[in-house]
Structure 1
Amino acid sequence: MVAKTARLILILVATLVLLLVLAMLLLDSEWAKGLLEDQVSQRLDNREVMIGGLDIDWGFPLGIHLQNVSIANPDWAEHEHMLELAALDATIKTGQLLLGRIGLERLNLEQPVVHLARREDGTSNWAALRSEEKSDGPPVVPDVINLSDGLLTYQDATLDADLSVEFQTRGEPPGEHRLEITGQGRFQGRPFQLNAEGGAPSRVLEEDANYSIALQGNLGELQISFDGKAGDLLQFEALQGQLQASAPAGADVTAMFGQPALSIPAFNLQAQVSHDEQAWAVSDLTAQVGESRLAGSFSFDPDAPSVEVDLQLERVDLGELLEPQGYSELGVLTGEVDAGFTDGALTINESNLTYDAPDQNLQLQLNAQSRDIAGLESQGVHLEGSGSRNDQPFSFDLELGPLLDLTAPEQPYPVKGTLISEETRLHIDGTVMQPLELGAIDVQVEMEGPGPASLNRLTGLELPELPPYQLEGRVRWDKQLLRLTELQAQLGQSDISGDVRLRLSDQRMLWATLRSSRLDIQDLEPLWLATDIKDEDAGTETASDQIFSDEPLGLEPLQSMDAQISYRAESFNSRSVPLNDVSLELELTGGVMTLEPLQVGVGSGEVTARGRLDAQELPLEGQMDLSIKQVNLSPLLRRAELEDVAEDSAGVIGGQGDLTFRGRSVDELMASLDGKLELAISGGELDMLVVEALGLDVGEALVAALAPSDKIPMRCAYLRLSADDGLAELEQLFVSTADANFIGGGTINLDTEQLELAMESHAKDASMLAVDSPVQVQGPFSNLQVSVVSPELLARGLATVIGAIVAPPLAILPWVELGLGEDSGPGCRQALQEFESSGQR
């Protein structure tokens, strides 16, 4: 706008001279001066025009001299005059005048002063100079224009600009007088300086003048230089030349142009710039920004608008460029970008990029190209490439929406494609709101692979060694809430389906409703199986006699997240325990987990657990109620691949317990155990029961000490334990067989992991006993010993440990009386009836 206004002022001066020539042909008088002032005022929206003096030199050549010329400013302007001119001297070409044409040989302007201003509402003092009709240029162009002590000021409230530019011509006749310009001031709150040199001022008014210009300027810390030519300097038409720009590190260059302030590294760029018919072109571009380098060309037409870009990224260090935004860990980008913007659409021609981030051990190569995508009105982008992370390869093939829609605030951005890493495959199809900010996600996901652990190198995580898997579902993310719905997954031989929600804001919260037709415990064993402890110095495995681990419990998940989980499995398969119809209702709030309840079908019976764990503060405190009803042992033993034992020991187990505990590790929990536990078994064989309970060697030794036969059919067994601070007392032990009743007692120290147990038999026929003395089992859990108790020890009080023969309570019958396995024989009901009829009760 300033350039156009300056051009109009030059045309105005030339017009003034033309009118003056016409006036002087009539009369050299005050009347002519007044006529001249009126004519110019009419052309300036009746602004006041003053001419202090007018002289005509009627010699040869003909000369005109004006003094103290001024054109008034609007009332709101700071300066009284928009134009002031101390003197104007014009030399007329007499020969041209005799031929009926007007030509100026020379035009001298002394102390021309121009004051331009624009207010915040956009009102300017030069608006009256603008003509709605297109001008073909000045009516006359002087051969030579000389300027002395010129000044142009420009104040613009909308641009926060206050500039002052001095100009003059220098040179010795007969050569052209070149234009010199110096300027200073402030723009956008930053200091401005300008030094420029151009050709003869008269050539500015010529069409297709190919006017030469060279300038150097500073805006804040930004330095710019240009050396070139222009067909119309004041309109920037047919402009071409060499542009150079540079700034030190930290210069807020973007803020100078009304964009958000970005602290960027030092940069230096050079390019060939041209402008013709509203289109700008930049070619032979080379730029250095910090350690980044790029080259190429681009063009743009602001009226269309349209942009074409062809760049070679020799090295673009994203970490350095984006460090102020907190992305210093990013890597280096190289490659070629060929793109364009026209008709409101951004098009990417075949572009190839390589990304290398050594800090993340990540390499990436991609090809990007615009193409038609089904369901989209505008062209989308196809991305195809490969790479590696932590030396694990991957590839991808993605279809994205139009690039210009990436920042659309309320428009879902489509994303579809496949990512593959070795044998793992992920397919996604959906939309993302505001992808650059990851505002919201709604995608269908399909994923399969040999196991999560195969992605450990790629993801940097420690995923477990689980079996091959397949899953699909709908993933939605919005306002810190992640939802996985319509989940269908297969893990090894196990399946799982349902819905999961995870809130990540404030206190994290997990909601899950899941179900399985089949859950195979072997598929999940890697989640909890402990690894052997190794002696790194010796390179050999070491073992501990301690049964209960003293490793601290991982309680962080209980403290950092709330949860509501509902789960049911129709079939729960295990090598050792055949479970069915497993159901779980769990609630976790503020570090307190409530189990209400866990129900498990096992051996045609049922196990129910209800409990509460309080992990708000350490140590952990917990309480558990346990109920076991009519669990048939035969299927359990068969699942443990003990067919002979299962066939011989077809018994049914039941019981109940109420336990409390506290601690930071398993051994502390056991050492603090309080409560009661009762168990009953109906049917089976004593020898197999003891072997399973105490181990092969200890069990066989105990049976041999108690009975003459290694096959002891058992009718009923019952035990009652009472624990106080980790010390469990065996308050009652009763086993009934066809030939004898066995009773016992003792203690189990869960803190020191020591057991002391004594048993004795009471034969229904004394000839059937192997020994007539009690048998003792004692020692650490890892090394139990069996011995026959001498009469002396019996006299010292062991009899009080064993106690009298007391039958189990009748209340145990509902625990065990139904669901007996095959060949179970007489059970607890018959044993208790015989005991009562014998008068022993």
Structure 2
Amino acid sequence: PLPPEEQAKANTPPDLSNAPGLRNATILDSDVTYRSANGASYRTTLEKVTFASTSDSSPFTMTLTGAYNDTPVSISAEMEPISDLRKTPHRPYATTAHVTSGDMTSDFTGTLTDPMNFEGVEGHTTVTTPTSDTLFSVAGITGDHAPVKLALSGDFSHSGDDWHFTKAQGTIQTSTMESGDFTLIEGNHGKPDDVTAKTGFGRLDINGLMPILAPPGAKGTKKGPSTLHADLLLITPPDPDPLVHFELTARQLIYNALNFTNLRIQAAQTSNRIEVPLLRLDYIGASLSADGRIEADGKSSRVAADVVLTHGDIDRLRRVAGLAPVPVKGSLNFRITASSKNVHTLNEAISRADMTAAVSMEKGEIAKEIVEAASMDLRLLFRHAKGVTPITCLLGVLQMHQGIGTVIPLRLRTGEGTIAAKANFDLNRRWLDLVFASRPFSTSFFALDVPVRVSGPFDAPTLSLATWSKVGRNMLADSNAVTNLPPALQGFAASNACARPTR
């Protein structure tokens, strides 16, 4: 580090009042290498650079042919006359530049207060590319990849250690960025850079971004994007450079076959850890909010999250899950704690998740004939129950390991009676086994209270009497058990009237 007086002098733009006139100059076969504080090298090759002007009061032009880290680059720039250059830094120096590299083009129109050091830069810039081949090359990504069409524009500025790209708009593949603000703060000697990004999308299609975000080994060609399911990498480097903080919003988010709305997510990357203090989105009328963290676990990661889902309409949820119609209407609320170990991607974390969840309903309704059928009410021999009865409360507690789980207890209380149940399920096989029975104290004099078992595939289960099998009888014996909940879920479940065991 320089002494304060020398640092102040170094930060002062040079006096160009005596800049010489330049009519025609050429630089051949040169290169400039910039080495970052962390030891990374960035090499600019200058095959041919020309400067020209007809007089000190005529436009000053530059053309450059060369490469950046072996990626070919051509630049043509038209600047203000040299007589205006002599007035900087007191008067910003105007420049327009056109950059081409492969199929990428970029234009800049703006001013500089220190042209020799590319300092005090302010202006508008655009970037367009049908394939992003150049961007992949500059980023060090080699090998075949699917094309990524990109067109962005925004305001660019640079001063000292601060780099900014603001008011960004454009498209990335089929995603539309409506607003973007990006800031890079260069780290001090031996320290990582710091990047802050705040972006807003109208439509964010993760499937379309798969060429950028696909995990290692995902297949894609320049003829089109990967046909694999979208899957996001969960990487927690031990010494990240740069450190990243971002906030992202999107009115529409597409991920595999799922279509979400009103996304907002905040995240920060530090050593061996990614914190997600906020995730909110809407899905088929339900609102989901979550917070979580991704931590290094050897060469893989471990993930933990707490999730809250409210206003989940039963009929819409069951259709998404591929379940047969159910004669129950109402909205469900969920509280979920989940964790995964030894994972590398988001889909892998979801499929391997250990999960505990509580689900409740405070308002809803169920067909009267279902309650009477569940209780084997003898009056069904002489009449057909019509209408619905309000649901006083519903409570279910779920324990799941890698897609296989149990719901116990599962209780539903209505004005016509109380039903207790237990369910086993396998999301991988799309299979369930459900036993339910009405509680004798809650039903009418005519109810036989015979327990029923529903078992089989999600979309076509079969119906039988629970007592006909040992499995059914064992499940029935468990149906009124009280499950121990993690502290995060205890208050949620305890406030539900159905939390109290039935007789």
Give TM class, smaller chain: 0.5 to 0.7
Shift of 1:398: 1.7
Query: What do residues 719-755 of structure 1 show as CA deviations (whole Å, max 9, x unaligned)?
Result: 422358998544335689999968334476x9xx899
Partner residue of 1:663 out of 339, 342, 346: 342
Aligned-residue RMSD, C-alpha: 6.3
Match of 2:380 in 1: none
Aligned counterparts, 1:27-176, within 5 A: none
Letter of the structure 1 residue corresponding to residue 335 of structure 2: Q
Q: Does 1:445 align with 2:125?
A: yes
Match of 1:399 in 2: 78
Change in 2 beyond 3 A, CA 1:775/1:646? closer
Partner residue of 2:109 out of 429, 450, 454: 429
Further displaced range: 392-401 or 489-498: 392-401
State the alpha-carbon separation in 2 of the partners of residues 591 and 670 from structure 1: 20
State the alpha-carbon separation in 2 of the partners of residues 493 and 441 from structure 1: 29
Partner residue of 1:676 out of 338, 347, 356: 356
Aligned counterparts, 1:319-398, within 5 A: 333=47, 355=48, 368-371=51-54, 378-383=57-62, 396-398=75-77
Match of 1:744 in 2: 422
Shift of 1:576: 4.3
Shift of 1:400: 3.4
State the alpha-carbon separation in 2 of the partners of residues 371 and 459 from structure 1: 39
Change in 2 beyond 3 A, CA 1:460/1:685? farther
State the alpha-carbon separation in 2 of the partners of residues 434 and 476 from structure 1: 13
Change in 2 beyond 3 A, CA 1:486/1:732? same
Change in 2 beyond 3 A, CA 1:798/1:516? same
Shift of 1:660: 3.8
Shift of 1:759: 2.4
Letter of the structure 1 residue corresponding to residue 98 of structure 2: T
Change in 2 beyond 3 A, CA 1:318/1:405? farther
Letter of the structure 1 residue corresponding to residue 152 of structure 2: L
Match of 1:502 in 2: 184
TM-score, length of structure 1 as denominator length: 0.38
CA contact (8 A) 1:576 1:636 kept: no
Change in 2 beyond 3 A, CA 1:469/1:794? same
Aligned counterparts, 1:715-726, within 5 A: 719-722=396-399
User: How many aligned positions are there?
Assistant: 421
Shift of 1:478: 3.0
Q: Does 1:511 align with 2:202?
A: no
Partner residue of 1:475 out of 145, 152, 156: 156
Aligned counterparts, 1:815-830, within 5 A: none
Query: What do residues 328-380 of structure 1 show as CA deviations (whole Å, max 9, x unaligned)?
Result: 988795xxxxxxxxxxxxxxxxxxxxx5xxxxxxxxxx7753157xxxx7444
Letter of the structure 1 residue corresponding to residue 409 of structure 2: Q
State the alpha-carbon separation in 2 of the partners of residues 840 and 490 from structure 1: 57
State the alpha-carbon separation in 2 of the partners of residues 526 and 684 from structure 1: 47
CA contact (8 A) 1:453 1:465 kept: no
Change in 2 beyond 3 A, CA 1:533/1:428? closer
State the alpha-carbon separation in 2 of the partners of residues 457 and 629 from structure 1: 45
Shift of 1:600: 1.4
Letter of the structure 1 residue corresponding to residue 398 of structure 2: L
Shift of 1:609: 0.4
Shift of 1:440: 5.3
State the alpha-carbon separation in 2 of the partners of residues 307 and 573 from structure 1: 55
CA contact (8 A) 2:180 2:198 kept: yes
Change in 2 beyond 3 A, CA 1:729/1:379? same
Work out which structure has the larger RCO, using CA pairs closer than 8 Å and 6 or more positions apart in sequence: 2
Give aligned-pair identity as a percent. 15
Change in 2 beyond 3 A, CA 1:447/1:645? farther
Shift of 1:626: 0.7
Please state whether the residue corresponding to 1:799 is helix, strand or coil.
helix
Partner residue of 1:583 out of 245, 260, 264: 264
Letter of the structure 1 residue corresponding to residue 282 of structure 2: G
Change in 2 beyond 3 A, CA 1:718/1:662? same
State the alpha-carbon separation in 2 of the partners of residues 510 and 328 from structure 1: 19
Please state whether the residue corresponding to 1:800 is helix, strand or coil.
helix
Match of 1:759 in 2: 434
Match of 2:474 in 1: 800
CA contact (8 A) 1:406 1:434 kept: no
Change in 2 beyond 3 A, CA 1:608/1:671? closer
Please state whether the residue corresponding to 1:507 is helix, strand or coil.
coil
State the alpha-carbon separation in 2 of the partners of residues 730 and 648 from structure 1: 19
Change in 2 beyond 3 A, CA 1:407/1:444? same
State the alpha-carbon separation in 2 of the partners of residues 307 and 597 from structure 1: 56
Match of 1:626 in 2: 307
Letter of the structure 2 residue corresponding to residue 502 of structure 1: L
Partner residue of 1:600 out of 266, 277, 281: 281
Change in 2 beyond 3 A, CA 1:600/1:559? same
Please state whether the residue corresponding to 2:235 is helix, strand or coil.
coil
Q: Comparing both structures, which one devotes a greater share of its residues to helix?
A: 1
Please list every run of 5 or more consecutive structure 1 residues that lacks an aligned counterpart in the other structure: 1-304, 334-354, 356-365, 535-540, 687-712, 766-770, 779-783, 816-828
Give the structure with higher Rg (CA).
Answer: 1
Change in 2 beyond 3 A, CA 1:787/1:514? same
TM-score, length of structure 2 as denominator length: 0.58
State the alpha-carbon separation in 1 of the partners of residues 400 and 103 from structure 2: 53
Please list every run of 5 or more consecutive structure 2 residues that lacks an aligned counterpart in the other structure: 1-19, 220-225, 368-387, 445-449, 484-488
Letter of the structure 2 residue corresponding to residue 760 of structure 1: V
Query: What do residues 400-447 of structure 1 show as CA deviations (whole Å, max 9, x unaligned)?
Result: 356899999957654312234576432102245655554554332122
CA contact (8 A) 1:744 1:757 kept: no
Shift of 1:399: 1.0
Match of 1:610 in 2: 291
Match of 2:248 in 1: 567
Query: What do residues 421-479 of structure 1 show as CA deviations (whole Å, max 9, x unaligned)?
Result: 57643210224565555455433212234353575468764697576443222222333
Query: What do residues 580-613 of structure 1 show as CA deviations (whole Å, max 9, x unaligned)?
Result: 3322233444444333321213333311102233
Letter of the structure 1 residue corresponding to residue 473 of structure 2: A
